[in-house]
A and B are shown apart, each in its own frame.
Chain A
Amino acid sequence: MGVWIAALLTLCIYSFLYKDNPFYKFAEHLFVGVAMGYSAVLTYRDGFVPYVWRYLKAGFTGEPEKLLIIVPTIIGILFFMRFIPRLSWLVRYPIAFSLGLGTGIALPLGIQANIYQQMYGTLSPFGALGKLSPFQIFNAVLMVIGVLSTLTYFFFSAEHRGGIRWVSRLGIIFLMIGFGSAFGNTVMGRIAILIGRMRFLLSDWLHLVR
């Protein structure tokens, strides 16, 4: 029965290819509801229970240091104030804590990962030029040219005139090649999902293929 339900829901979604219709709308809304229900259960079972409930239980049964969890719990509960118009300003407190802590932790790590490490990657081949083949040296030079010209394209504080305009145009060329290669890969990614569904319909549902 599960296979039939899955197959019928699949066909409801595919009916959108003809045009928008009640079957598609039904399936679309059902998807959103079921997905949110799934996330809600998992957030409770694998978020609230291990991080809050078990800590509180342990705190009240022999590990009093774990009762400190009450503080972030109260801060988190303030999120519920969003639904009481008179008290909705209290939502700013959990937002302040989560944004402040999250941004503070991520800031030095982000600089390291996205700036220093990427700059290292761009320049590191030039530290070992003697060990590289001519083709690898060409690629390293091409990479530096690509990075600098693309960055120039995104630099809007100076007008793109004269030399900057030509460097910026070179950057666009690198960007177009990048987007083209992304498109080429995306085609495969999207068709892969379709293959999965077709296989389900032809094999698991209609038994036309073993």
Chain B
Amino acid sequence: MSEAWVSKFYELKDVKISKEKNRIMIETSPDKIVDTCRFIITKLGIHHLVTITGIDEGEKICIIYHFWGQQNFVNLVVRIEKTNPRINSITRVVPGAIFYEAEVHDMLGVIFEGNSLMEGHLLLPDKYPCDLPPPLRKEANPEEIRRRMGLE
């Protein structure tokens, strides 16, 4: 990891950066997500998006975008409110993100504006009851999901 590459990180504004072993965490706000992704692809030269993780933290939903390049994980961390889980999609910048965003949408109910797979389910069965919370939310109960889908 060269000095020149490290110095590029300082061009980002309004972010919090921390580094530990081979992981770099960049915390930013949800409205800056597309610009920061574009920065990572063009300025840092990292093209490989590994996946997108969604975690229910109670009041907020934490979304982490994992990139891998130059022998480091570069992770983008954003937090959105659970009451209004909307965020811009990065598929214009990284077309490969389409399935990862659709998975977070299915499992946690986050809406990625601009992603074309937001209607219908990618992984869950079609008869998943729409009044039940998505399965990875804290308030979802597997027993109740089983009962409502008719699985004994």
> Are A and B associated in one complex?
no
Which residues of A pack against B, CB within 8 Å? none
Q: Which B positions have Cβ atoms within 8 angstroms of A?
A: none
